[in-house]
Structure 1
Amino acid sequence: MALSRVRAQRLGTYLSGCAVFAAGATLFIHSSYGVDPLDTLALGMLEHLPITIGIAQASVAVVCIAIWSVWNRRRPVVSPFVTFFLCGSLIDLMRLADTSVIPAPAQLALGVVLCAYGSALIIMSGTGIRAMDLIVLTMTGRWRWPFWVAKASVEAVLLVLGYLLGGPVGVGTLCFLVFVDGLIQPFMILNQRLLGMENRGLTVAASFPTPAPAPQRS
């Protein structure tokens, strides 16, 4: 009974996180101030390849999962694709809503908060963690980097690659990189301290063994 309750709580946290993140991403889109670093890369790829945004993002996810799998010597996981599909579907539905009554700057600001908090919930659930965040958690666990430093580093790589490929970069893109990535960890801490939530994502990251140094040859 207790195990079922824990699983239900994890699922509820995960689904809530997907819904909150999708709402934030929708406001980002409606604000017209720019896209997140992943979309910058995806749109940059479209400048050179005859693919769709969905295929571009899925390709990035495949690369991230492959890196995570090799790095941690684990089987590739498919749950990030469930999150990818679920959040994408929710965004498609939410985009039908008329948000024109909200000023664009307010949409951007609210989008930042919702994307950060939704990301925090997904990670804390330990379920369906996004492909990029799997690498971030590995960096956090192995290198003992603060989460926000690892997160911003990965997103910055995507942003630079996307920009070099011709992807769009706007005020919203920079806000995502600085504020969304910077707020995820504080939100996780607040959830732990105020709501007593367990951070299963960072718990998993802490269990990643640090590779032993190569033996010295005499």
Structure 2
Amino acid sequence: MLSFAVGLTVLAAATGLYIGAHFGPGPRDGLMTGLRERLGWPIWIVRTALEVTVVAVGWALGGNVGVGTVAFALLVGPMCQFFMRVFAVRVAGGEDPVRGSDPPRTGPVPVTE
């Protein structure tokens, strides 16, 4: 149980680190960010829907589905969104990796050129 919780937290934090730092998403995370952009849904909903779909397809093909599999599918989305916000690097004129477009600004935007 502890190993599962630590592993899930590390995976979600790593996802937040490399997507939040604009290093580019991997295949599943690319699908997640692409669907977020197209549909306008929050990251946690898109990622949870993807994971639940993958679990259902795996189960339909004869794979094992246990408590950890279901817990991962339901928890990884909200945790990824949390860590993406924690580790997001804001770039002037850039896109917010969690929300999509630039967040509203309340003060002057620093320009780095």
TM-score normalised over the length of structure 1 = 0.41
Instruction: Return structure 1 stretches of 4+ with deviation > 4 angstroms.
Output: none
- Provide the alpha-carbon RMSD of the alignment: 2.4
Which residue pairs with 1:135 in the alignment?
31
Aligned residues: 99
Distance of 2:55 and 2:77 partners within structure 1: 13
Q: Give the aligned partner of residue 202 of structure 1.
A: 97
Structure 1 gap segments, 5+ residues each: 1-104, 208-218
SS of residue paired to 1:148: helix
Counterpart AA for 1:144? G
Residue 166 of structure 1 aligns with which residue?
Answer: 62
Residue 112 of structure 1 is matched in structure 2 by: 8
Distance in 2 of aligned mates of 1:149 and 1:106 = 25
What SS is found at the alignment partner of 2:63?
coil
Whichever structure has more helix as a proportion of its residues is 1
Instruction: Give the SS at the match of 1:202.
Output: coil
TM-score by length of 2: 0.74
Q: Is the 8 A contact 2:46 2:77 kept in 1?
A: no
Say whether the 8 Å CA contact 2:43–2:81 is kept in structure 1.
yes
Aligned equivalent of 1:184, options 67, 80, 98 = 80
Alignment of 1:47-58 (within 5 A): none
